[in-house]
Structure 1
Amino acid sequence: MTDHHTYGTSTHTADDLVRLVGACLDLVFTERDSDYRGVYHLATTSPGGRVEIQPNPIPGDDGEDDLYAPEHPSTQVLLLTTTPVPDPAMQARLGSIEGLVHLDHETV
C-alpha cells in the first residue's frame, strides 16, 4: 500500500514551503530540475517515503506555462507526500502550517 497526499498554497512560494516544511518535519530538501516538471524540491523520509514541493505552473514547450495540477488552477505551489503506510503524525504537522490546504488523498 502507498499513501499519497496533495496540499497546495497560494500564500507561500516554493522556497517558503521548503523552509517551513523542512523545519516542521525536520527534512532537508534538494533542488531538482526536470524537463517535464521544471524546478522542484525533494526530500526523502522513512524508507519508501518522499515529500516534494512543486510549483503548479511549469514551463511549457510552447513558451506558455502549463499546470502540474490543472484541477487546482488557483494553487501556486503544491506539496506532494508519499509514504508506504498512512502517517497521521505527518499529516497533523503539515496541517499546522498556515496557508497550506489539503487538496487530495489517495491510497493505492
Structure 2
Amino acid sequence: MTDHHTYGTSSHTADELVRIVSDCLELDFAEHESDYLGIHYVAKGPDERIEVQPNQIPGDEDEDDLYAPEHPTIQALVMTTTAAPDPTLRARLSSIEGLTHLKHESL
C-alpha cells in the first residue's frame, strides 16, 4: 500500500515553505526543474518522498496552470508519499502554521 497526502498554504511561497518543512522534518530538499512542474523541491527517505512546489505551474502560451485547480487560493503545496500511513509525519506537518491538509489517497 502507498499513502499519499497533499497539504497547501496560501500563507507561504514554495521557497519559504521548503525551508519551513525542511526545519520541521529535519530533511534536505533538492531543487529540481521540469517543463511540466517548473521549479520544485524533493526530499527522499527510504520509505518516503516529500515534494514542495508552487500551485502555479508553467502552462502553454505563457499562461500558468494550477497543479491543484480545486484549490485556486493555495500558493504552495506539500505532497507526501509513504509506504504505509505515517501519523508522526502527518502530525508534524499539521503543526506548521498556515499549512492545511487538502487530500488523502491510499493505493
Q: TM-score with structure 2 length normalisation?
A: 0.97
Instruction: Look up the match of 1:17.
Output: 17
Alpha-carbon shift at residue 16 of structure 1 (Å): 1.1
User: What residue in structure 1 maps to residue 32 of structure 2?
Assistant: 32
Query: Runs in 1 of length 4+ with deviation above 4 angstroms?
Result: none
Q: Which runs of 5+ in 1 are unaligned?
A: none
For 1:55, the aligned partner's letter is P
- Report the Cα distance in structure 1 between the residues aligned to 2:20 and 2:39, rounded to whole angstroms: 18
For structure 2, the residue ranges without an aligned partner over 5 or more in a row are none
How far apart, CA to CA, are the structure 2 residues paired with 1:3 and 1:52? 14
The TM-score normalised by the length of structure 1 is 0.96
SS in 2 for 1:62: helix
RMSD, matched Cα: 0.7
Distance 1:49 1:87 in 2: 9
Identity of paired residues, percent? Answer: 64
Taking the aligned partners of 2:64 and 2:72, their CA distance within structure 1 comes to 12
Distance 1:83 1:77 in 2: 20
SS in 2 for 1:98: coil
1:71 deviates by 1.2
